[in-house]
Structure 1
Amino acid sequence: MSVDTQGTDLVQLVALLGAAVIAVPISKRLGLGTVLGYLAAGLVIGPYGLKLFTDPQSILHVAELGVVLFLFIIGLEMRPSRLWSLRGEIFGLGLAQVVACSALLTGLGIVAGFPPAVAFIAGMGFVLSSTAIVMQILEERGDTATPAGQRVISILLLEDLAIVPMLAIVALLGTHGSDGEAQSRWISILIAIASLAALIAAGRWLLNPMFRILANVQAREVMTAAALLVVLGAALAMQIGGLSMAMGAFLAGVLLSESSFRHQLEADIEPFRGILLGLFFLSVGMSLDLGVIARHWQMIAIGVVAYMALKAVGIYVVARVLKADHAEAMARAAMLAQGGEFAFVLYAAATAGGVFTGEVNAMLTATVIISMALTPLAVLSLKWLLPPATPEQIEEDFEGAGGRVLMIGFGRFGQISAQFLLAEGVDVTAIDSDAEMIRAASRFGFKVYFGDGTRLDVLHAAGIERAQIVAVCTDKPEVTDKIVELIQSEFPFVQLYVRAYDRGHTLRLLKKGVTYQMRETLESAFTFGASALEGLGVAPERIESISESLRSRDAARLAAQQAGGLLSAGRDLFVTKAFKPEPEPLTVPKREAKALNKEAESATAEPVD
């Protein structure tokens, strides 16, 4: 490669990164989301902007891997049992929406004067929504794990499957259907089935042994390479079979969703997913042909409005018929009203088959891209059209629950505690009654079920019978006590690990006989105090001595209080200002509890916990 070519490549790479770094934060600050920022940046640096790129399609082919990696991560969060539970939504709701919207948009094309074949293919390109844009919006809103979000994902999965028969129909419309071509289509179907079967077999019997072997090598870069190999290999297998690459990656994720390596895989894939998905949106923005828009702007403008409005109506009606409430139906219509990236494939195939002319292809492609750009604005407009979501709008759905650890309460304390368990591959079922917290947690990949831990039916649904440990991490002591009492009454043999509020709450929990309790501020306060001494230049040995003495006094006083019940239950630990740590840890026998209590009553005191 020449120096000039290398320089050009570097300029383009810097332009891509610079456009994203500048445009996306501005778009986020304006409340427009990241997708619109990427699309605008792509338009600016593309063939019709600064002309830093002349062939956006070449970038688009590479950037489609971002969608592939995104679907793999979604698959990791969706276990086979969960996917099976969604079969009704996938083949019921998804199919109903595709059929209804196909009929509406085909009819619109015929009314607009297109021949029936052209009207059908043009409409189908719009029926297949943008998986990349919709999934990005769901992730930013934290809705991927909510029941409404799962229904949207089910529709997207059905649309991914629909690309296969759509391409077959395009091939049929573009030919006269000779015997040789019919035989070729049957061969293609058999190859698709074989590819799918091979992928499922590899997922069941090869992937976990392979990752176990690689984990023993203890080379992080090899595990990362293996993760990419699995995703791209699955995508390639589906592509060879004529299926969607994204569908292949999703199935690979589902097959690995119960693996002990899934959290490691997600961590390895995430950086590549984010960069490539952003590159995909940039390349879509570059692909917008302003020349075609200038020549046919009236027809394209009418087409964008008509297609999006009619598809939104179809989505809303199907949602309402299938028992969705008004808010969910509106949100679904706003998110799915655009055309998708599969339209580019479908329209290109129609052009190659002689169904479309090049100009019609360019017009329809521009219509789809504009609809994709308008989607974030349509979703944003819902803030003014709909009231904010309330916790009651999230359903209790415990499909897939039943881990070794049941965690009740997933606030700050629970989230940090869960990371230790997840890092070891322990299956954690987390429940919480705060809808906003559930949405926020899903942005970081946590699957949290909506439910009230003080209800016996919720505990049963969350799989408490299969849990080895129940971790009660709620932040209100009265709620915590209620949960502990309920569990001890109904499930007396389960191990209870409980977050305590203060010293008085700790004494109550000890009296109840929980397996383990921890005051929520104790360890952080000890660490903070030790760090402050370190900042003042105190020797590490002295800090350690102080820390050990304080811990010993705290443990001794707690033991005395528990044994004698001499201090009031609500009182925290008190020490004098002139406290000097003892050289050896203190032990306080039960008979000295009364004297220790007296000392605490008479001391000039400050609370430390």
Structure 2
Amino acid sequence: MAGEIAPSTALSDALVILGAAGIVIPVFTRFRITPVIGFILIGIAVGPFGLGKLIYEHPWLTHVTISDPEALAPFAEFGIILLLFTIGLELSFNRLWNMRKLVFGLGALELTIIGSCIAIVLSMMGQYWTGAIGLGLALAMSSTAIVLPISGTHTPVGRAALSMLLFEDIAIVPIIFLLGAMAPNAQAEGWEGLLDTLWKGGLVILALLVIGRLALPRLFAQAARTKSPELFLAASLLVVIGASLATAVVGLSPIVGALIAGLLIAETEYHGEVEAIIEPFKGLALGIFLITVGMSIDLATIWENLPAIALAVVLVLGFKTLVTGLLLRLMGARRSTAAETGMLMASPSETTLIVLAAATSALLIQPGTAQFWQIVTAIGLTVTPILAKVGRAIARRIDSAPELPPEYSEDPRVIVVGSGRVGRLVADMLTVHGKPYIALDSDADLVDRAKRDGYRVLYGDAARRDALERVGLKNALAVVLTMDEPVLVQRLVQKIRRQNPELLIVARARDTAHAAELYRAGASHAVPETLESSLQLSEAVLTDIGVAVGPVIASIHEKRDQFREQIRQEGALEHKPKLRTGPAEAR
């Protein structure tokens, strides 16, 4: 009998999850609301504190509720692992090294100051000091799973959030061992365990880096040559799960292994294909995680303790917003960036629940206290998308750009996204030929320098819906995307093309493979850096060895047109990312 019930239960749970995804994503996307709130509301409705309470009176509800919430925990954890893996794919070791001051400076300060202050306040309110430290560190953390999908990793807000979240993810293991060391009669064992984990974890990370550098390019080259999406997916999951298990076995968090796996694959030419093939699984697994968050919210308990819970939520969110914003201002961030990041990072995290569980098992806090703060954390996670919208609105008001001069406010012009080296050169050539332009950049320092040098540039994040509209996208002659950020460029091309089917879109591409992806996304022209440098080298050598300039320039133009047509045809073969067959094809 039990053997018949278990499969039925598993199938009904799967039906609820897939049904939730099928309803939540389209409906909330239609109304331009983040699906995060939808998944959490579904969790509240189908969980043990929602319709699950009524299954004894109405047995048919078992088919539309989650019968075993704990069974979803591994899938929720897998969602967070895949999230960190895709974050690694968007990063690189060079970018991570460049962020080291932010990660170990801003990140460490944010966690230490917020955790210490909350611990002091709780201690003054009567919580024993060891438990106050555990609660302070738990509540100081912010949600990687919710914050980064909202902020991205390429904007000033996204970079600041990423640096703090990376430090929190690194710090989770030492924090758990610290709580174990503070447990009654467990100090020595806790410190010994921490040291043991650190040296073993260091060896595992070193081994992953060496093996990954040597093996991953060969592994994905072989998978790509088979032209089998199934084998490519299997190789991707093998890498992320293997790296996560390797770090988990020695006591580190599995998300550390997932991040390292993503960083290693980001160094190969197959990172775009891996990201595309993993994306659907990440979205569904994160949806399961958010459903489990909703299932932990007991509306009856909240109602009974509403004043205390509401006060705790407001104080925690307000204090974290204030401290994070002040830290960012002290480190030179713009007021708008500091305000938006502070609001976005205000809520506690899914790792808060892990630290609360560790503090409870170490007898540092009582189960009732842990349950109270779990509810506060769940509410904080639920309102994070709302906080993000409020923070964005505040940032716009703080940093609203001045009205454009009359001669540029209505007339059609070229929009140049990016005011770095390439963006400036495009602006110079437009000026030489008398064509009006306006540049847009999300790097405040670049904007200030460009303005001082006489360029017409505004501060703004092109990834936001209203930024391009504010500089005249509707009447634009063309949009030129000059950033060296392949993933962001591709997303912007898709977004702009959906809104403006006839607009001229010229995009900078890293190589010919990236150019083909941009053509598939809707670019009018995609200019690969590798191709242009090769043509310029050819032009220089031909003219210097005595070939006439006219025929050389004509042949260069002809060869450029041939390459562009070839890349366009490659991009038109499929309307979805296709597997490349190896390094030779990318050339």
Per the normalisation by structure 1, the TM-score is 0.66
- Which residue is 2:207 aligned to? 198
CA distance in 1, matches of 2:180, 2:218: 41
Look up the SS of the partner of 1:175 in the other structure: coil
Deviation at 1:236, TM superposition (A): 1.1
RMSD between aligned alpha carbons? 4.2
Q: Which amino acid aligns with 1:516?
A: R
Q: Note the residue ranges of structure 2 that are not aligned, 5 or more in a row.
A: 53-64, 402-439, 447-461, 463-478, 496-507, 543-552, 573-587
CA distance in 2, matches of 1:432, 1:109: 50
CA distance in 1, matches of 2:93, 2:70: 35
Distance 1:179 1:16, change over 3 A: closer
Contact 2:483 2:489 in 1 (8 A): no
Would you say 1:517 and 2:566 are equivalent positions? no
CA distance in 2, matches of 1:356, 1:362: 10
CA deviation map 1:79-101 (0-9, x unaligned): 21111111111111211211221
CA distance in 1, matches of 2:533, 2:210: 44
| 1:31-42 correspondence runs (5 A) | 31-42=32-43
CA distance in 2, matches of 1:379, 1:341: 17
Aligned partner of 2:382 among 373, 376, 400: 373
Contact 2:241 2:258 in 1 (8 A): yes
Distance 1:74 1:491, change over 3 A: farther
Q: Which amino acid aligns with 2:140?
A: V
- Which residue is 1:159 aligned to? 168
Aligned partner of 1:59 among 58, 63, 72: 72
Would you say 1:393 and 2:442 are equivalent positions? yes
| 1:138-177 correspondence runs (5 A) | 138=151, 143-177=152-186
Task: State the percentage of identical aligned residues.
Answer: 27
CA distance in 2, matches of 1:251, 1:436: 20
| 1:123-522 correspondence runs (5 A) | 123-138=136-151, 143-177=152-186, 179-387=188-396, 391-394=440-443, 432=481, 441-442=490-491, 492-493=539-540, 513=557, 515-517=559-561
CA distance in 2, matches of 1:76, 1:436: 12
CA distance in 2, matches of 1:198, 1:437: 29
CA distance in 2, matches of 1:389, 1:65: 40
Aligned partner of 1:103 among 81, 100, 116: 116
CA deviation map 1:368-390 (0-9, x unaligned): 11011111111112343232777
Look up the SS of the partner of 1:185 in the other structure: helix
CA distance in 1, matches of 2:217, 2:239: 11
- Which residue is 1:84 aligned to? 97
Deviation at 1:105, TM superposition (A): 1.9
Distance 1:96 1:492, change over 3 A: farther
Contact 1:89 1:151 in 2 (8 A): yes
Deviation at 1:291, TM superposition (A): 4.5
Deviation at 1:146, TM superposition (A): 2.7
Would you say 1:12 and 2:17 are equivalent positions? no
CA deviation map 1:301-332 (0-9, x unaligned): 11111011001101000000000001101111
CA distance in 2, matches of 1:336, 1:194: 32
Contact 2:102 2:163 in 1 (8 A): yes
Q: Note the residue ranges of structure 1 that are not aligned, 5 or more in a row.
A: 398-410, 412-429, 447-461, 496-508, 529-609
Contact 1:27 1:34 in 2 (8 A): yes
Deviation at 1:202, TM superposition (A): 2.1
Look up the SS of the partner of 1:386 in the other structure: helix
Distance 1:434 1:224, change over 3 A: closer
Q: Which amino acid aligns with 2:49?
A: Y
Deviation at 1:177, TM superposition (A): 4.2
- Which residue is 1:541 aligned to? none
Look up the SS of the partner of 1:270 in the other structure: helix
Distance 1:442 1:3, change over 3 A: same
Contact 1:90 1:155 in 2 (8 A): yes
- Which residue is 1:532 aligned to? none
CA deviation map 1:493-533 (0-9, x unaligned): 499xxxxxxxxxxxxx9599564238999999xxx9xxxxx
Q: Which amino acid aligns with 1:238?
A: T
Q: Which amino acid aligns with 1:233?
A: G
Q: Which amino acid aligns with 1:100?
A: I
